[in-house]
Chains A and B, each alone.
Chain A
């Protein structure tokens, strides 16, 4: 485990270009896409402190299981969209947050997936059981 206690420290945040592009393609709102890109730029430059991150649920009411993940709402602190991150250990043994998904928290279109369902599917390789 690296270092001693570091209150106020920020986690590095990484994005996978292909998954981020896929999520933007499936975001119907121009505002949502702009906010996501702006948030990505900010997080890549500045990282995130833990007191701005919410734990995800191991067993959420929508059937998703996001053990070891945290999230933010966009716009912060309680916006319509969300980003889900997985806490990972890099090969240099440093912790970082890997963005798993961007999307809407509460989709209204029939068949549309929530950001949690997208993240769940990317972790588990299949949709959540309801």
Chain B
């Protein structure tokens, strides 16, 4: 699967755009890149902080956070 070309505009119009069409004369068709659009759909609900800690006690601890994200 190849991703579509992506451009960043600056000037009168600013933002991230996806190139949907590219003609031989150089004309481009752009649409705004609104990624991410799709919201994941999963069963159940997020674990609470208490449940998160309880699962660490049950399954073993996760590795510590590294500040990156």
Residues of A within 8 A of B (CB): 1-9, 11, 14, 16, 18-19, 22-28, 33, 49-58, 60-62, 64, 66-68, 70-71, 82, 84, 86-91, 95-96, 98-101, 105, 109-119, 121-122, 125
Contact = CB atoms under 8 A, between A and B. Distances in A.
A91 to B, nearest CB: 5
For chain B, what secondary structure do more than half of its interface residues adopt (helix, strand, loop), or is it mixed? loop
A112 B35 CA distance: 10
Given A22-B38, A91-B44, A98-B42, A3 B58 contact: yes
Contacts of A3: 58
Contact of B36 (A19, A56, A88, A105): A19
B66 A54 contact: yes
Q: Which 3 A-B pairs have the closest CB atoms?
A: A116-B69, A16-B40, A90-B44
B68 A27 contact: no
Interface residues on B, range: 35 or more
Interface of B: 1, 3-4, 6, 8, 15-16, 33, 35-49, 51-52, 54-69
Among B35, B44, B51, B59, chain A packs the most CB atoms within 10 A around the CB of B59
Contact of A16 (B33, B42, B55): B42
Given A64-B69, A105-B68, A50 B35 contact: no
